């Protein structure tokens, strides 16, 4: 029995060189494609989609090396992720989508909208890591490796990063879908550490000069986020004609910190397109 009013369908989609997993919430076109942060998975979106009033179809893939998708040994650069995304849109027959990306997913959404404007009807970027502080990046990369396995699911649940603002229901749900029990009885994250570390390091390289977005755009910042300072939000908005900005009472993981508030913003923004 699902905990959600609008449960997702979980399925797999073979792509060139990758067997991808995705969540699919049936609805009307045009679809909304949701891109998750690094070292997470598509389950970051469940509560937000459930809170949304939009009748659109929602689609959330697990990126390569994350969740239930394949874990290739190599291929964790921007162009690898973007090639997977383009292949997924083609395989699903999606010619034009509303694109929503959080954190690293926001970077990917910005780059796809810049490279292939014909594919993106609207863009929402949520606390992206467009110019990540190297010291913060180093701390996160070290944590990815040091805190990867746990003696119990309860310990794993208690050590989830950026979770201090999550509801108990969010913590319970996300932990159920984000750890796998190994043969020795310990619990490990559902991501590929070398890939996640390489991706996190990638975020230190600014992408400002690659941003050429022309579609309607909403930029969302978590009000307590150190990953996406207000100055970066303002700089990003200056690069995108007629971009709208909003701050949500949240830290960096906005879809999980405050899913209802983010859903309300998307309802108004996408609903107006």
CATH code assigned at 210: 3.40.50.1820
| Model confidence pLDDT, tens digit, residues 95-129 | 999 999 999 999 999 999 999 999 999 999 999 99
**Section 140-162 average pLDDT:** 95
Classify residue 189 by burial, with Cβ atoms within 10 Å: 0-12, 13-18, 19+: buried
Kindly state the average pLDDT of the residues 134-146: 92
Q: Is residue 102 part of a domain?
A: yes
In a domain, 34, yes or no: yes
How does residue 151 score in pLDDT terms, banded at 50, 70 and 90? Answer: very high
pLDDT of res. 29: 77
122 lies in some domain? yes
Q: Is residue 53 part of a domain?
A: yes
Res 3: pLDDT: 79
DSSP string covering 165-224: T--HHHHHHHHHHHEEE-TTS-EEESB-HHHHHHHHHHTTS--GGG----S-EEEEEETT
Total number of domains in the chain: 1
- Rounded to two decimals, the pTM is 0.97
Q: What percent of the chain has pLDDT over 70?
A: 99
The residue range of the domain holding 248 is 9-131+206-271
Distance CA 213, CA 237 (A): 10
Residues 6+ positions from 180 with CB-CB distance below 8 Å: 187, 188, 190
Average pLDDT over every residue of 161-188? 97
The answer to whether residue 180 sits within a structural domain is no
Q: For residue range 206-258, list pLDDT tens digits in order.
A: 999 999 999 999 999 999 999 999 999 999 999 999 899 999 999 999 999 99
1 pLDDT more than 60: no
**Arithmetic mean of pLDDT, 250-267:** 98
Q: Taking all residues of the chain, what is their mean pLDDT, rounded to a whole number?
A: 96
CA angle (183 as vertex; 178, 188 as ends), nearest 5:
25
What integer pLDDT is reported at residue 2 of this predicted model? 61
Kindly state whether residue 225 falls inside one of the protein's structural domains. Answer: yes
Mean pLDDT of 66-70: 98
CB 78 within 8 A of CB 36: no
Domain membership flag for residue 165: no
Domain assignment present for 176: no
The count of other CB atoms within 10 Å of the CB of residue 133 is 14
b/e map of 9-37 (b: 16 or more CB within 10 Å)? eeeebebeebebbbbbbebeebbbbbbbb
């Amino acid at each position: 029995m699902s905990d959600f009013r609008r449960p997702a369908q979980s399925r797999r989609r073979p792509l060139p060189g990758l067997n991808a997993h995705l969540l699919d919430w049936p609805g009307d076109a045009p679809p909304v494609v949701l891109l998750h942060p690094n070292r997470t998975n598509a389950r970051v979106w469940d509560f937000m989609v459930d809170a949304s009033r939009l009748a659109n179809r929602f689609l959330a893939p697990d990126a390569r090396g994350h969740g239930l998708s394949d874990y290739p040994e190599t291929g964790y650069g921007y162009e690898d992720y973007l090639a997977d995304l383009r292949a997924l849109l083609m395989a699903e027959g999606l010619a034009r989508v509303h694109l929503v990306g959080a954190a690293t997913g926001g970077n990917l959404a910005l780059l796809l909208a810049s490279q292939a404007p014909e594919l993106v009807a609207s863009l929402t970027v949520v606390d992206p890591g467009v110019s990540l502080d190297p010291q913060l990046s180093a701390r996160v990369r070290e944590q990815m490796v040091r805190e990867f396995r746990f003696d119990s699911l309860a310990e794993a649940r208690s050590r989830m990063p950026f979770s201090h603002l999550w509801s108990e229901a969010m913590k319970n749900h996300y932990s159920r879908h984000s750890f796998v029990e190994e043969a020795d009885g310990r619990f490990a994250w559902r991501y590929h550490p070398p890939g996640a570390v390489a991706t996190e390091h990638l975020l230190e390289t600014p992408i400002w000069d690659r941003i050429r977005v022309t579609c309607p755009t909403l930029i969302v910042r978590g009000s307590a986020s150190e990953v996406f300072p207000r100055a970066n939000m303002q700089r990003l908005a200056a690069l995108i004609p007629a971009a709208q900005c909003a701050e949500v009472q949240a830290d960096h993981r906005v879809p999980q910190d405050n899913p209802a508030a983010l859903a309300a913003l998307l309802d108004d923004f996408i609903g107006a397109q």
